[in-house]
Amino acid sequence: MPIDDLQQSAQKIAGFLNTLNKLGGMRLKYRISASDGASEGEGAAPRQISVELAGPDVPLVIQHNGELLRALETLAAQMLRLDHHEHHMVSFDAGNFKALRAEELRLSAEAAAEKVRQTGVPYSFPPMNSRERRMLHMVCRTLPGVETASVGEGANRFLVVYPEGKTDLPVAPAFKPRGFGRR
């Protein structure tokens, strides 16, 4: 269900972050902003909430490729009872991590596409979350001579860049599958 009351939703997120700081021992400041698509006319974007984190614990939040940042987003979306396809309506960022990561992914996609065009061999990215795979798909869509596909399941899902028209080529993951068992 979409976000109906932006102010109430922002207050819920603020309460969650206050509790995280108090009980979790975190030292995070936050700024919550909301955009109401209604002011933009017909066909407007849905209501969205953005949370910018700052403070001494930002490095903790963005380490390991922003895992904790994404976890906070997921928890906030679940607190607001958003469907899984509406999770994009709540966005957390810290230290401009998302913009920097988007640029990193764009450059990686361009380099992979160039390698695939030169060699004719598919390129496999390591497993990543659906948002990052989508970013790679979108960048590669604008690049000539390549196609992309997501392969694998769950935490082992990864993106492959193929030469255009050759998505039937065999591909091996460029990583060890994550899972239970011995390491």
69 lies in some domain:
yes
For residues 28 and 20, is the Cβ–Cβ distance under 8 A?
yes
Residue 13 shares a structural domain with residue 89: yes
Task: Give the CATH number for residue 66.
Answer: 3.30.300
Domain carrying residue 111: 102-163
For residues 58 and 28, is the Cβ–Cβ distance under 8 A?
yes
Tens-digit pLDDT string for the chain (183 aa) = 456 677 888 889 999 999 999 998 999 999 998 876 554 444 445 568 889 999 999 999 999 888 899 899 889 888 888 877 777 778 899 999 988 989 999 999 999 999 999 999 999 999 888 888 889 999 999 999 999 999 888 888 899 999 998 888 888 776 665 555 544
pTM recorded for the entire structure: 0.69
Angle at which helices 97-119 and 130-141 cross, to 10°: 50
173 lies in some domain:
no
Task: Give the CATH number for residue 140.
Answer: 3.30.1370.50
